[in-house]
Amino acid sequence: MNDLLHINGPRLWGSLTEMARIGATAGGGVRRLALTEEDRRGRELFAHWCREAGMTVWTDEVGNLFARREGADPQAAPVLMGSHLDTQPEGGRFDGVYGVLAALEVVRALNDSGVVTDKPIEICSWTNEEGARFTPAMLGSAVFAGAMTLDDALARRDAQGVTLGEALDACEARGTRPVQGVAVDAYFEAHIEQGPILEANGTTIGVVTGGQAIRWFDVMVSGVAAHAGTTPMRYRKDAFFGAAHMALEIERAMARHAPLGLVTLGQVQIANSSRNTIAANVTFTVDLRHPDDAQLDAMEQDLRAVCAAVGGTRGLGVEIAHCWTSPATPFDPACVALVADAVERLDYSNERIVSGAGHDAIHLARYCPTAMVFIPCVDGLSHNEAEDALPEDVTAGTNVLLNAVAARACVREHVNA
């Protein structure tokens, strides 16, 4: 295809704005947790827009929501685009939803131009990408790609004890189509960067070459509960002070793996907590990330050594449970080249970048040829109510997605030409 295609930027921005009203927070963000009433409404609106665009809509057994634009060869494996509509508890307006609605705008733009592609084009909004309600994150795409069984996924429970299967039924989101064994020609995902690199470099498009490795752990620290007013400090086995000591030592140890090694302690829980009781049991989460699996092995060893040493010094019990791993994942060179070619022909500034966050594309990359398109986000903020993106960047990223997907799907003709 020699002719460049372009989207309708104001139409896409309007769709993003309307979707952001569902679950809108007072701080300007969005709370649309997976398989809640807000998520149901978001799914319903997206499905309505897809049907308006002439697409066929369905859900699979884990609630992944699909929409299909037919190609000239209906037997061909489809070119798939997507992301997610669920958010963090205090999330933003672009994380995930940009990729879903950018994909919809691709289809609308193809319709506007009368483009017929050989291969069908499909969009998917993946279930529970954020992992804010059900663990693990990227659950729907994990089942789709065979990284997790359907039964395991359906049995996962949220903090209130509700299973994913029960939540699917409550949202009327459980479909009958098989979730696994589906043929896919390629997968493309557009996303905000969720970090500061593109904005700091004044770059419009990130051509994503792959995703870094991620490992999640729960660290359980056990001491002895005792009265806050009658137990001298030297006799205490305080699990919270022990956990705090571990946190500082973990930060110090991980500095040896800078600048690429990253560590985050995102959640802390004190069991049976009381203002005047010494903490007996504390659990905190650890998120380790590095682009290299071997370096992540070394970071895990340091984590375990630090926690054991602090526990021994303070007379505390320590258990570390490994929750989840996502290995370093390179994207398909041919799909990455399609993104890079679209960027060059559109004449946008660009750079190669490794994704620091987990995305559904990471699971899909182990299932079919995959690539991603990044755009900057304002101040590098994401997982934050203040998350924002500029309209011109939103449009640019979607123009890249449009032309890369059209090239992969093989444009046969322009009916309106």
pLDDT at 402 over 90: yes
pLDDT at 95 over 50: yes
N- to C-terminal Cα separation, the chain: 13
**What's the pLDDT at 2?**
52
Q: For 380, which DSSP code?
A: G
Do the beta carbons of residue 300 and residue 197 sit within 8 Å? no
Each residue of 296-313: b (16+ CB within 10 Å) or e? Answer: beebbebbeebbeebbee
Mean pLDDT value of segment 141-161: 97
Q: How confident is the model at residue 148 (pLDDT cuts 50, 70, 90)?
A: very high
Whole-angstrom distance, CA of residue 123 vs CA of residue 81? 5
Mean pLDDT value of segment 115-131: 97
**262-303 pLDDT, tens per residue?**
999 999 999 999 999 999 999 999 999 999 999 999 999 999
Q: How confident is the model at residue 1 (pLDDT cuts 50, 70, 90)?
A: very low
pLDDT at 16 over 60: yes
Do the beta carbons of residue 279 and residue 270 sit within 8 Å? yes
The annotation places the binding site for Zn(2+) at 84, 95, 130, 191, 383
Mean pLDDT value of segment 50-60: 98
Mean pLDDT value of segment 144-159: 97
**What's the pLDDT at 326?**
84
Whole-angstrom distance, CA of residue 106 vs CA of residue 7? 7
Mean pLDDT value of segment 80-98: 97
Residue 193, exposed/middle/buried by CB under 10 A (0-12, 13-18, 19+)?
A: buried
Mean pLDDT value of segment 119-140: 96
pLDDT at 412 over 90: no
Whole-angstrom distance, CA of residue 23 vs CA of residue 385? 12
Q: How confident is the model at residue 356 (pLDDT cuts 50, 70, 90)?
A: confident
The annotation places the binding site at 84, 95, 130, 191, 383
Whole-angstrom distance, CA of residue 167 vs CA of residue 355? 30
**Got the DSSP string for 151-203?**
HHHHH-B-TTS-BHHHHHHHTT---SB-SSS---SEEEEEEE-SSSHHHHHT-
Mean pLDDT value of segment 92-100: 98
Q: Which amino acid is at 144?
A: F
**What's the pLDDT at 358?**
83
Which residue ranges form the domains of the chain, and what is each CATH number? 9-212+328-414 (3.40.630.10), 213-326 (3.30.70.360)
Q: pTM (2 decimals)?
A: 0.86
Antiparallel, parallel or unpaired: β 281-290 and 262-264:
antiparallel
pLDDT at 374 over 90: yes
pLDDT at 394 over 70: yes
Whole-angstrom distance, CA of residue 33 vs CA of residue 258? 33
**What's the pLDDT at 415?**
63
> Widest CA span of the chain, in angstroms?
85
